[in-house]
Every structure is written in C-alpha cells, then in structure tokens.
Structure 1
Amino acid sequence: MTTETAAKTARTSFTITQEGIVIALTVALLAIFSVTLPGFLSGANLVNLLRGVSVLGMLALGMSIVVIGRGLDLAMVATLVVGMGWALTLTAGGHGFGTSLLLGAGFAILAGAAIGMIVAFAEIPAVFTSLAMASVIFGFGNAVFFRNDVHNAPANVEWLSALGYGAFLGVPLVIYAFAALALAVHLLLRFTRFGQMIYAMGDNPAAARQTGMPVRPVIVAQYVISSLIAFLVGLVIVASNSGLNTRVYNSTLVYDVLLVVVLGGIGLSGGRGNVRNVIVGTLLVGTLFSGMTIMNLSYTTQNLVKSLVLLAALIAETLINPRDEQTAQQGDI
C-alpha cells in the first residue's frame, strides 16, 4: 500500500458526518444535563422527553419526504390547524367524528395537491409557494370553516382518549405512533418505486426528467403525503391535549420541524437522508428542549437558542455537504 493510498484510507475511516456530530452532541447534552439538572436522566423524565418530541418527530417525517425530493413544506402546520380545526367544528355541530375526520383529511389532500401543483407546474420555488399557501390556508380556514381559536375534542371517544393518555408497558401510545409512522416512511422511501423516484428527483431533477420519470406527479404526491401526515399529527395533538388551539399556527412549530430535519442531516439540496436522520435530529432537539424547560428559560430565550442552533446547523450542512454546480442552482426550494 502506497503512502498516498494509506492517507486516503485514513481520511475515509475518519470522515466526519453530520449524523455523527449530532449523536455526539446529544450524548454531550445528556451528560451535561444529567450532572447539572437533578432527575434529568430518570426514567419518568426520559419518557416525558420522548412523548414531548413525538409530535415534532412525526411532522419532521412528513417534511423529510418533501426535502429529500428537493422541496420544502412550510404550510404543513397551517394544513394541520385548518384540517383538524374544521373536523372538530363539524363534530361539535352534530356530525359524526369519523365523517368529520374524513372531510378534514380530504381538505388536507386538496391543500397538499394545490401546493404541489403550483411547485410542479408553475415552477415557483417551494419555499415561496408553501410560505404563501400557509397564509392562504389559515386565512381560508378562519374565514370559512371556523371562528374560534380553541376547539375541544369530542367526549366519549375511547380510542382518542387512549391515543392521548394511554400507555403500553409503561410507554405512552403517542411514542408508539411515532415509531409506527417512522417505520411506514422508512418502508416507503427504502422499498417502493415511489421512494426511489423521490431520491432520484432530489439528486438530479434534470436527469430524472430525461429518463422519463413522472417528476411533476411525484412532486404533487410528496406534498399530499406531507399534508396527510400533518393532519394525522393534528389528531395526535387533539388526543394529547383534549383539543386544539389554532394559534399554534403562529408558533415556531414549523421552524422547529425544520430544525429537526436539518440537524438530523437531511440535505436541503435534496436526494440525501433517511428516517434515521429524523430520529437522530428529534433526539437532539428533544434533549435540548427538555433541558431548557427544566432550566426554566424564558420563551424568548428558548427561541433565540433554537434560532442559533438552526443557523449553525445550516452552516454545518453547507460545509459538510458543499453544493456542486448542479445543486447550487438558485430556486431549487
């Protein structure tokens, strides 16, 4: 083996990956918080930590499908709020809860399809399309579907109460829901032709078109799936909180989701990432949020910390995965 070959092998063996950095940071935070914050590593607190970030992780799974395909869905929280808010409004008005959920899911599908068609056919960058559509969706919901901010969950729906407050082997069912959705998204991306097309399209859209891949329908399908996942997460929120406050739209939730995706190592340039990245990012963000909550930091301070972490993650993602001539094109997302 030549000296040059040995050096190249050594560099390969010690390649720094964003996923590795995130795992190291998570372990470091766990160690620091366990020493400085009494009871942080207790079983009850760790279960609460996982329960608290399950909703964030599930939303990040939906976002990851779009980001891998070189898109961005900043409207998913608006879709969640309006679709589920309408379903609860219909239920309160006397409609069956099952029928109301189907109608709310239908609205989520239409919202996702509208965003996808604008991105795919009008070719407006996804960041602008989804940001504008978020306001349109939320405004439409407030003007047409409901007037109140707070919507209560229907009473005497046993499976809904079990989802929100039930547990199996001491683990809340919400965590199982996160695990089940993670498995479903993993199977979709890894073992289906649709998943392969998402990766191919995210890696090189021009080449995907030249091979005859139905790029536009795939783009639309991505946003429909993301919107449906957002609606299902809305159901988990309703179950866990006995209702829904539509003001969550004005929170930093969608940026927290983006933080999980970027921190986990799913490249914004598309074509790279998997469910494992989402889980890793969720664990780091959950550890950070739990620590800041126990330290009783103010809401403003927590947002500042999250913003700085997101900025650092974006810089790290750019340095670790520099854009080439193809991925450096403006307007991809």
Structure 2
Amino acid sequence: MSTTVVRPTPTDPGIARERTVTRALRVVGVQNLSLIVAIAVLVLVIGSRNSSFYLTSNLQSIGTAVTISGLLAVVQTVMVIMGGIDLAVGSIAGLTSVTSAMIFMQAGSTVSFVGALAIGAACGVISGCLVVFGRMPPMIATLAGLMAYKGVAQLVSDGRAQGYTGADPFYIFLGRGSVLGIPFLIWLFVLVTAAVHVMLRYTRVGRNIYAVGGNDTAARLSGININRYIIGVFALVGVVSGLAGILITARTGSGQPVSGSEDLMFQSITAAALGGVALRGGKGTMGGTLLAVILLGVLLNGMSLLGVNPFWQNVAQGLILAAAVVIQQLRNGERRVGLPK
C-alpha cells in the first residue's frame, strides 16, 4: 500500500508567508530588526512610567538632542567602515564652535559658517596626513588630535565661552528654527545621513571605501589610491565635525571650547558599534547607525524623565558599547584571547 506525500507548492499560503518574512529580514536585516524591537520596548516601558514621553514637544526634544552626536556618528560610521576610527571628532566640534563664534563677532554669520567648516576640514586633513605620511595608526593619530584640538580651543578662547550669536537670524534658525513644524536640526541630520547613505551604497567612492576596509591589500592591487581615500574620509569627518560645532554655537548662543568633546566622541563610536558596523572595517550600514542613534536618544531622554541619576547615563552607555562589541565578536566567531575557539 503506497502512501502519497503531499508536498507544499510555491503557491501555498505558508510558503508565501515564509518567503515574505525571509525577504523582509533580508531587506531590514537582523541587526536592524533587533534595534527596532529594542526601541519599541524602550518606548513602551518609558511611556508607561511617564506619559509625558509621548508629547510632541518631548519627541522633538529627542530629535534635536541627538542631532549633534548623530552627525558625528554618521561620519564615524564611514571611518570605521574604512577600517579606521576618529577619536578627535568631539574636540574638532569644540574648536569649530568657539572659532565660529569668534569669527562671527568680526565678520558675520556667512564667513563664520564657511570658516568653521574650513577649520574642521583642515583638522581632518592633518589627522589623515599623520596616518598616511606619519604611518601612525588612526587611533593614535586621532588621540593626539583629541588633545591637541581641545588644547587649541582652550588657548584661543582662554577657556571661556566666546561671542554671542543669540540675536543673529541665521544662527537662530539653525538652532531653533523649524520647517513644516519639524525642527531644522532634525531636517539637517536626515539630509546629511541620506547623502552619506547614497554615497556609500550607490557610488564608486562608497564601494571603494568598503573595499579599503574589507581588504586594503586587495584594494591597492585593484588600483584604488588608498592614501587619497584615507585623507578624503578624514576630511569628510572634519567637515561634518565642523558643522556639529556650528550647531553647538547655534544652540547655546556662544562658542563652547570644551563642549563635551569626549562624550560626543564616545557616543559616535557607540552608535556605530551598536548599529552593526564591523570594527575591523568593510561592513556596516547607515540605517543601522540611524537606529542606534535613535535608541541612545530614547534611552537618555527616558532616564532623564524618570529621574535617574545622570551619572548612570554614562554607565548605561558604557554597558551598551561593551554588549554591542561582545555580540559582534561572538557573531563573527572571533577567537577568545589566550583560549582555543
């Protein structure tokens, strides 16, 4: 007596649903999906403890609060994808903040804006040249930059806030303006993130950055000018860090020589690692970094609303960074130090 086995056909509803789920996971990514779930859980938990979390004003506050650290996270992502790291982003932001305010007092908003971006680019190029021509590891070159740029900012400002931009229409719009009811800072962050995403995913420059981070020897043999890309990415990081410094000036109304440089640097690295960027380079997406920035913003805002001691915010960020790196290393099958796999 024969038994007939009924096999599912490609048109069966179960197979169709499975393919839809698989396709969605491929598009969104497991890493991004886990971040989305984490954000949703945080929103529900914090909102259940304090209903003011859901107020439009508070949601906009989260958006504006993460703009500066988010901009730095975006370019830090590019740097890590290329196989490097930039510890000087916060110090560059502090330097350009104070210099933009000082230039503004002498030459107006347009010159101060362009001048601050140029100073940021110069700082980035200096770091890139130290890596390329001084043969310094990116971590050491930018660690030197972290201290040097911070010191220069303190020297030129005598360690005090400089200038006053609180009455200038341009800086008022940058810091507190809105478009279609949404703060301009959020629009600016979205615009920069989208531009960098397009560059990484759809241009030859982006493909070459991934190639350099994935295998610099193979990239060099394929004809990619690695030195040019290293200096170019450092310059990009410097320009965006300069923009972040201008936004600090716009939000505070004056130039801030020491504007949380180490905190901004740490948050940018945490967002990149949490977003799934491979710390060895060659892998990462802007979508993951964007979700990580949102997650950190929701977490810090929620802790403030719930009256958690501010010092615990640093503890939470440190634990998040450690957990993100451990998960990434285990997923990649990294060998434990001193032990067999």
TM-score relative to the length of structure 2 = 0.86
In structure 2, what is the equivalent of residue 65 of structure 1? 78
Where do 1:112-191 residues align within 5 Å? 112-143=124-155, 145-154=156-165, 156-191=167-202
Q: Secondary structure at the match of 1:108?
A: helix
Q: How much has 1:42 moved relative to structure 2?
A: 2.5
1:276-317 Cα offsets, whole Å, 9 max, x none, are 112111111111111111122222211111111111111112
In structure 2, what is the equivalent of residue 272 of structure 1? 283
Q: Is the Cα contact below 8 Å between 1:62 and 1:229 reproduced in 2?
A: yes
Q: Secondary structure at the match of 1:123?
A: coil
Q: How much has 1:103 moved relative to structure 2?
A: 2.9
Give 1:24's match in structure 2, choosing from 28, 31, 37: 37
1:189-224 Cα offsets, whole Å, 9 max, x none, are 122221111011011111001112100110011010
Stretches of 4+ moved more than 4 A in 1? 12-16
2:268 and 2:170 mapped to 1: Cα distance? 27
1:64 and 1:209 mapped to 2: Cα distance? 22
2:167 and 2:276 mapped to 1: Cα distance? 42
Q: Secondary structure at the match of 1:116?
A: helix
User: In the alignment, does 2:337 pair up with 1:321?
Assistant: no
TM-score relative to the length of structure 1 = 0.88
Query: Aligned letter for 1:53?
Result: V
Q: Is the Cα contact below 8 Å between 1:39 and 1:45 reproduced in 2?
A: yes
Q: Is the Cα contact below 8 Å between 1:269 and 1:323 reproduced in 2?
A: no
Q: Is the Cα contact below 8 Å between 1:66 and 1:72 reproduced in 2?
A: yes
Query: Aligned letter for 1:115?
Result: S
Q: Is the Cα contact below 8 Å between 2:75 and 2:236 reproduced in 1?
A: yes
User: In the alignment, does 2:290 pair up with 1:296?
Assistant: no
In structure 1, what is the equivalent of residue 48 of structure 2? 35
Q: How much has 1:251 moved relative to structure 2?
A: 4.6
What is the RMSD computed on CA atoms of the aligned residues? 2.4
2:310 and 2:99 mapped to 1: Cα distance? 29
Give 1:246's match in structure 2, choosing from 230, 239, 257: 257
Q: Is the Cα contact below 8 Å between 2:249 and 2:256 reproduced in 1?
A: no
Q: How much has 1:34 moved relative to structure 2?
A: 1.4
Number of corresponding residues: 316
Q: How much has 1:142 moved relative to structure 2?
A: 2.6
User: In the alignment, does 2:100 pair up with 1:84?
Assistant: no
2:128 and 2:307 mapped to 1: Cα distance? 40
In structure 2, what is the equivalent of residue 97 of structure 1? 109
Query: Aligned letter for 1:166?
Result: G
* Distance change (3 Å), C-alpha of 1:197 and 1:23: same
Q: Is the Cα contact below 8 Å between 2:109 and 2:170 reproduced in 1?
A: no
Q: How much has 1:85 moved relative to structure 2?
A: 1.1
Q: How much has 1:256 moved relative to structure 2?
A: 1.2
1:255-279 Cα offsets, whole Å, 9 max, x none, are 0111111111111111111221121
Q: Is the Cα contact below 8 Å between 1:19 and 1:280 reproduced in 2?
A: yes
Query: Aligned letter for 1:309?
Result: I
2:243 and 2:145 mapped to 1: Cα distance? 20
1:250 and 1:155 mapped to 2: Cα distance? 22
Q: Unaligned regions of 5+ residues in structure 2, if any?
A: 1-6, 8-17
* Distance change (3 Å), C-alpha of 1:323 and 1:219: farther
Q: How much has 1:50 moved relative to structure 2?
A: 1.4
Identify which range, 277-286 or 118-127, moves more after superposition.
118-127
In structure 1, what is the equivalent of residue 216 of structure 2? 205
1:17 and 1:317 mapped to 2: Cα distance? 12
Q: Is the Cα contact below 8 Å between 2:73 and 2:271 reproduced in 1?
A: yes
Where do 1:101-112 residues align within 5 Å? 101-112=113-124
Q: How much has 1:17 moved relative to structure 2?
A: 2.9
Over the matched positions of the two proteins, sequence identity in percent amounts to 24
Q: Secondary structure at the match of 1:151?
A: coil
In structure 1, what is the equivalent of residue 11 of structure 2? none
Q: Secondary structure at the match of 1:40?
A: helix
Q: Is the Cα contact below 8 Å between 2:176 and 2:251 reproduced in 1?
A: yes
Q: Secondary structure at the match of 1:25?
A: helix
Structure with larger Rg: 2
Q: Is the Cα contact below 8 Å between 1:18 and 1:320 reproduced in 2?
A: no
User: In the alignment, does 2:293 pair up with 1:287?
Assistant: no
1:62 and 1:282 mapped to 2: Cα distance? 13
Where do 1:213-252 residues align within 5 Å? 213-252=224-263
Q: How much has 1:38 moved relative to structure 2?
A: 2.3
Query: Aligned letter for 1:305?
Result: A
2:277 and 2:270 mapped to 1: Cα distance? 10
